[in-house]
Copies of this chain bind each other. A is one copy, B any other.
């Protein structure tokens, strides 16, 4: 394990203005890392394009950084840059700043948005793959030993598994041979993406495989579940630090959508039978996980893969739970997605807990989320954002 001097330790957060990126930046800054955000603010621009808005009133990136300095006394650096389009400038910044780790959130991250139409499909592939590949090339070209941490998705495993335990990235298999004993191999878990967005995360995984094997880059790929919750210890320290909360049909993740719906008296929008099972993690756990992964870097022997999840739930059970604590009704809608009507998702997630993660589970955090965020900002809710607009 590499030893880190935390106070001299610089981390790039690519996409550090986004839903996971911003609380990660603050958390790392709060824990002694020197944080530099690189962001092209594409997430805010897509809001404009779609005519949607975060339920929580988020400050500009400039105000956020200024407020954090007032609150904590700590500086966060910021470059407005599109790393998918400005490779040379990105490399120059990397050589100048010399970070020891880089957290890569700089991808279009909504499955429904990636399936809206041809333009959004192509934007998602071009942006995500070029951004990831530019990151790999820049690290390689810089000659620096930068630990790259990438936010992937549990969706790479697909949602119709028949395994009784989905492993963390690598699967042990046997290959039957004619007239010979079967061959045992450990492979990357086969990839079963369900949207263009998910496909880009699978392509990323193969790029990581190659750049680790051929060029010995140090990489952690975090296969993250659906993130719920809004604020963290740090974003709570000022209204101007508040994190974004998406509840719309494109960017809103399922639990956050339910909470807003409950707060404003809209029925909970369950797609299909609600039999789909997904993995979840609270936003506070997300930032803790990323810090733990930075503090415990992997070897360069192979890509380290963690399932960054803490619990697994069937969506109808979640809807029932939210209904119970809020009194909301449940309404079933035709599923806009091509996916199995129901699935199991038995998924391993020990590695981050071994590094010290103590999960915040839904039952503990959900009531607070309802009263502190969904109810507090319910007047900002735009009803027309709630139903899904993209079908595939």
| B173 near A174: Cβ-Cβ < 8 Å | yes
Produce 1/0 per residue, A169-205, CB < 8 A to B. 0011111111110110101101101111001001100
A74 within 8 A of B: no
| A125 near B129: Cβ-Cβ < 8 Å | yes
26 A-B contacts, Cβ less than 8 Å apart?
A: A87-B122, A118-B138, A118-B140, A121-B133, A122-B130, A122-B134, A125-B129, A125-B130, A125-B133, A126-B130, A129-B203, A164-B177, A164-B179, A165-B177, A165-B178, A172-B176, A173-B175, A193-B206, A193-B210, A195-B214, A199-B210, A202-B206, A203-B203, A203-B206, A206-B206, A214-B392
Q: Which 8 A-B pairs have the closest CB atoms?
A: A187-B190, A173-B173, A174-B174, A199-B210, A203-B203, A118-B141, A125-B133, A118-B137
Q: Once bound together, how far apart are the Cα atoms of A179 and B193, in whole Å? A: 28
A207 within 8 A of B: yes
With A125-B129, A165-B178, A190-B190 known, 19 other A-B pairs at CB within 8 A are: A118-B140, A121-B137, A122-B130, A129-B129, A163-B177, A164-B177, A164-B179, A164-B180, A165-B177, A171-B175, A173-B173, A174-B176, A185-B190, A187-B190, A193-B209, A193-B210, A194-B214, A199-B206, A203-B203
Q: Once bound together, how far apart are the Cα atoms of A149 and B86, in whole Å? A: 34
Provide the residues of chain B in CB contact with A194, threshold 8 Å: 214
Chain B: CB-nearest residue to A337: B214
Q: Once bound together, how far apart are the Cα atoms of A214 and B115, in whole Å? A: 11
Looking at the assembled complex, report how far the CB atom of A198 sits from the nearest CB atom of chain B, in whole angstroms: 8
Chain B: CB-nearest residue to A91: B118
Contact of A191 among B133, B177, B206 (CB under 8 A): B206
A162 within 8 A of B: yes
A338 within 8 A of B: yes
Chain B: CB-nearest residue to A164: B177
Chain B: CB-nearest residue to A187: B190
Looking at the assembled complex, report how far the CB atom of A211 sits from the nearest CB atom of chain B, in whole angstroms: 9
Provide the residues of chain B in CB contact with A174, threshold 8 Å: 173-176, 182
Provide the residues of chain B in CB contact with A171, threshold 8 Å: 175
Provide the residues of chain B in CB contact with A210, threshold 8 Å: 193, 196, 199
Q: Once bound together, how far apart are the Cα atoms of A183 and B185, in whole Å? A: 15
